[in-house]
């Protein structure tokens, strides 16, 4: 075997450790043992394989520190160690691998700072260290590697400012992922000088200031994720960048949610790329109405505008967004009726319209959304009865109709919802008996029906043993409290107050 040049054992079920004898394969140039169940240390003897060009040990259970001896593999082009449980520091000896072009340490438990020795890796194009515990400022050594095309330091503990000349020092980047760290300061305007930049993700940091309008000149930009920072100035401006981004004709993903942008939602949002699939502007200070031409964004699959100050009704053209999976308008002041065109969005999975000013009836057409998982339309001004059609959507897991003016009984069809986890009908004007069919909702954990005019007895829900919270208070229920409620192992909160129950109260379990 000493003549072996290529050894590929990837994607098997090898367990145990990598044998030290692998170091006897002196002529080995390619070693791939990825996607196995290997444990223990990376053998130091690998440093004897001095002709190695590619070393891929990714997606195993390898632990301990990366051996500094790997720094003697001077011919190495590719080093992939991602998705293990490696600990310790980034070995400074790897700075000796001046031929290295790709390195991936992502998804491990490594810590400390990236050493200055990395600056010698001037051939590097791909540097991945995401999802570790690395810390310190943005690694100064990386500013010296102008050849970098893809850089990911996301999900670490890096802090401090990014250099103002960032984009001039790393002019070849196509992918820059810095999200989920502790960076502060402004987005360097020189980033917009990187004409090749396609994906920029820096969500969940502490950035301040504005979004440079010059992002609009990046013709290849398809992903811009800058949500969950402190961008914007809490004023009536800051959304001008949306008009500039209309020039980015490849844009598919835009997340600027959870910041401090204010002012009216600009009509220019309808001029964004027709390739846009995800638009997130939630949790800002945005006012105004949803633009009439929003339907131009024909590829949109997710729109998140929650927790703003939007008013007015949903425009007719919103109904043209037939690819939508997620609609989140939670906590605004949007008004008018819930449009029946939602029923044409047959891919819809989540519809969050809670805490707005919608009125009128719940459209029966929602029953056509056969993949709907979440239906949250609570805290509005809806009236009429609960349509049977929405209780015949087999995928429904969460329904909240609370805090409206709904009347009539709960349809028996509710019993067909075998995947239903939570049902909220509280604080309406519902009446009649709670349907016996409710006992068929075997996945139910949360049941809130308080503040209505339900009468009769509690139906047989003895099979709903996963229940955690149940509230039947403030109704006209009568009869005895079922003894089986005391036997529900997960039940933590049970409120039966302000009813007409009689007889003995159980004394065990939640009681």
pLDDT digits (tens, 9 = 90+) for 153-186: 999 999 999 999 999 999 999 999 999 999 999 9
Element (H, E) at 446: strand 446-448
- Check: CB of residue 81 under 8 Å from CB of residue 108: yes
Distance CA 347, CA 301 (A): 9
Which range (67-71, 132-136, 234-238, 300-304) has the least confidence?
234-238
Sign of CA dihedral 162, 163, 165, 171: negative
Q: Are 144 and 168 in contact (CB under 8 A)?
A: no
Q: Judging by beta carbons within 10 Å of its beta carbon (0-12, 13-18, 19+), is residue 187 exposed, middle or buried?
A: buried
Q: Is residue 103 included in any domain, yes or no?
A: no
Give the CA dihedral 141, 143, 146, 148, nearest 10 degrees: 80
In a domain? residue 407: yes
Tens-digit pLDDT profile for residues 260-308: 999 999 999 999 999 999 999 999 999 999 999 999 999 999 999 999 9
Query: Which tokens go with 437?
Result: 């069919």
Rounded CA Rg of the chain: 29
pLDDT range class, residue 504, cuts 50, 70, 90: confident
CB 365 within 8 A of CB 340: yes
CB atoms within 10 A of CB 42: 23
- Residue 144 CB coordination number (10 Å): 18
Domain count, the chain: 1
**336 belongs to a structural domain:** no
The whole-number pLDDT of residue 235 equals 74
Spatial neighbors of 466 by CB under 8 A, at least 6 apart, are: 442, 443, 444, 445, 490
Rounded to the nearest 5°, which phi and psi values hold at 392?
A: -120, 20
Residue 359 resides in a domain = no
Half-sphere exposure of 135 (CA within 13 A, CB side): 5
Per-residue pLDDT tens for 355-414?
Answer: 999 999 999 999 999 999 999 999 999 999 999 999 999 999 999 999 999 999 999 999
Q: What domain range includes position 489?
A: 381-511
pLDDT score recorded for residue 511: 80
CATH of the domain at 499: 3.80.10.10
Q: Mind listing the pLDDT tens digit for each residue in 424-438?
A: 999 999 999 999 999
Query: What local confidence, expressed as pLDDT, does residue 93 receive?
Result: 98
The verdict on residue 392 lying in a domain is yes
| Average pLDDT, integer, range 192-203 | 99
Evaluate if residue 236 carries a pLDDT over 90.
Answer: no
Burial class for 168, CB neighbours closer than 10 Å (0-12, 13-18, 19+): middle
Domain-embedded: residue 149 = no
Beta carbons within 8 Å of 47's beta carbon, 6+ residues apart: 23, 67, 69, 70, 72, 73
Query: Does residue 413 sit within a domain?
Result: yes
> What single-letter DSSP state applies at residue 233?
-
User: What is the average pLDDT score of the chain?
Assistant: 97
Residue 99 covered by a domain: no
Give percent helix, percent strand, percent coil of the chain, each to the nearest 5: 20, 25, 55
Q: Give pLDDT, residue 188.
A: 98
Q: How confident is the model at residue 3 (pLDDT cuts 50, 70, 90)?
A: confident
Residue 1 scores a pLDDT above 80: no
């Amino acid at each position: 075997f000493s003549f072996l040049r290529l050894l590929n054992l990837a994607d098997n079920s090898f367990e145990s450790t990598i044998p030290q004898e692998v170091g006897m394969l002196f002529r080995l140039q390619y070693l791939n043992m990825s996607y196995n169940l290997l444990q223990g240390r990376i053998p130091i003897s690998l440093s004897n394989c001095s002709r190695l060009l590619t070393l891929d040990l990714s997606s195993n259970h390898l632990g301990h520190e990366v051996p500094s001896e790997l720094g003697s593999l001077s011919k190495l082009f590719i080093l992939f160690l991602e998705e293990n449980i490696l600990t310790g520091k980034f070995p400074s000896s790897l700075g000796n691998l001046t031929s290295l072009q790709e390195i991936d340490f992502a998804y491990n438990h490594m810590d400390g700072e990236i050493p200055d020795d990395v600056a010698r890796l001037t051939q590097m194009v791909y540097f991945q260290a995401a999802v570790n515990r690395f810390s310190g400022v943005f690694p100064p050594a990386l500013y010296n590697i102008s050849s970098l095309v893809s850089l990911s330091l996301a999900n670490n503990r890096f802090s401090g400012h990014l250099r103002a000349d960032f984009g001039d020092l790393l002019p070849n980047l196509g992918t820059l992922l810095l999200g989920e760290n502790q960076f502060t300061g402004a987005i360097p305007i020189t980033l917009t000088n990187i004409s090749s930049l396609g994906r920029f993700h820096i969500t969940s940091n502490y950035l301040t200031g504005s979004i440079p309008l010059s992002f609009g000149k990046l013709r290849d930009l398809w992903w811009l994720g800058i949500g969950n920072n402190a961008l914007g100035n809490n004023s009536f401006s800051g959304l001008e960048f949306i008009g500039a981004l209309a020039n980015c004709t490849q844009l598919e993903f835009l997340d600027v949610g959870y910041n401090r942008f204010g002012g009216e939602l600009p009509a220019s949002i309808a001029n964004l790329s027709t390739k846009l699939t995800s638009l997130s502007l939630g949790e800002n200070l945005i006012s105004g109405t949803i633009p009439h031409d929003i339907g131009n964004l024909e590829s949109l699959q997710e729109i998140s505008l929650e927790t703003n100050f939007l008013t007015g009704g949903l425009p007719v053209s919103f109904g043209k967004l037939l690819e939508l999976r997620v609609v989140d308008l939670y906590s605004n002041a949007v008004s008018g009726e819930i449009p029946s065109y939602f029923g044409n969005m047959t891919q819809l999975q989540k519809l969050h319209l809670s805490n707005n000013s919608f009125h009128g009836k719940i459209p029966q057409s929602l029953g056509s959304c056969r993949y709907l998982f979440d239906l949250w339309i609570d805290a509005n001004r809806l009236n009429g009865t609960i349509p049977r059609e929405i209780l015949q959507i087999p995928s429904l897991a969460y329904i909240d109709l609370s805090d409206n003016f709904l009347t009539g009984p709960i349809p028996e069809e509710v019993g067909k919802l075998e995947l239903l986890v939570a049902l909220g009908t509280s604080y309406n004007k519902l009446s009649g008996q709670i349907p016996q069919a409710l006992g068929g909702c075997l996945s139910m954990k949360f049941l809130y029906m308080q503040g209505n005019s339900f009468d009769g007895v509690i139906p047989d829900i003895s099979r709903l043993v996963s229940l955690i919270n149940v509230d039947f208070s403030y109704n006209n229920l009568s009869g005895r409290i079922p003894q089986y409620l005391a036997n529900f192992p997960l039940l933590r909160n049970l409120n039966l107050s302000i009813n007409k129950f009689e007889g003995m109260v159980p004394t065990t379990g939640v009681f």
